[in-house]
Amino acid sequence: MSYNEKNIDLIIQYALLTAGQGDDYLSRRLGPIHLIKYVYLADLYYAQKHNGTSFTGINWQFFHFGPWSFQVNNRIDAATSAILANRHSFDSHFKDEDVVRWEISDDDLLKRMSREVPSEITIKLKNNIRKYSSDTEGLLGFVYQTEPMLNTAPNDYIDFSIYTDQDKVPIEKVMLRFEQISNKKKKAFSQKIKALKLARTFGKKKLIPVTIPRHDEIYNDGINWLDTLAGEEFPTGRLKAQFSTDVWGSDTRKGKQ
């Protein structure tokens, strides 16, 4: 699968410039892990509007804690240098911790660059960047919960084809089917809708009397009896759980149950 270096660089630069508008100067500094995740989100938002086709053409992989791409990682230096972003290096006591950050603040350049990024990307991505910026934990948590990630197992490639329109029924066809229904059925349908709305309205106004319970001996005995129905008390301490690898493909993880 071919990828577009120009589009990769564009998103990296857009993300860095958007972060540069933050009030906290430390939050403006983005590392490789942040830039890579923002490029992934750009591809996701673009795929949602373009039948599963990504903006960069990257073949994303579920690696360690989220989507990863060596191609994006390898473009960071060139993309940041092209807009003269400041590069900061520092020592780290953690093996996998990023030791490099980039930052730049240039409103005029951001305005020009925003015109090059598709609106279906900027409308959502700019809010993500303003919310998470360099918050690694928050950003990773958000990205991990995206639909393509929940449909992918570790080390597998991420598939944006879940956003294809082949299984969606066009609204025109839905309206055509409705027009083909007899007037009698349409009337009955409308009456049911009105009844549902009326029931919902009355339901909101319904008052439920509340009785304050008496916390006496009988009450306490009842609570203790209910506790015995739960079985033996769950042991405390450090426990180890094992899960089948099938959990990655389960409907529960995908949010279908």
Residue 209 inside a domain? The answer is: no
Please determine, for residue 156, whether its predicted confidence score (pLDDT) is greater than 90: yes
pLDDT at 74 over 90: yes
Q: What is the pLDDT of residue 173?
A: 52
- By the 10 Å C-beta count (0-12 exposed, 13-18 middle, 19+ buried), 24 is classed as exposed
Domain total of the chain:
1
Q: What is the domain extent for residue 54?
A: 5-163
In the predicted structure, residue 182 carries a pLDDT above the cut 70:
yes
Residue 181 falls within a domain, yes or no? no
Answer yes or no: is 11 within a domain: yes
Strands annotated E in 84-161: 86-89, 100-103
Q: What is the pLDDT of residue 175?
A: 53
Tell me whether residue 187 is in a domain: no
pLDDT tens digits, one per residue of 24-54: 888 899 999 999 999 999 999 999 999 999 9
| Cβ-Cβ contacts under 8 Å for 126 (sequence gap 6 or more) | 18
Confidence at 165, pLDDT banded by 50, 70, 90: low
pLDDT > 70? residue 166: no
Question: In the 8-state DSSP scheme, what is residue 96?
Answer: T
pTM of the model: 0.69
In a domain, 91, yes or no: yes
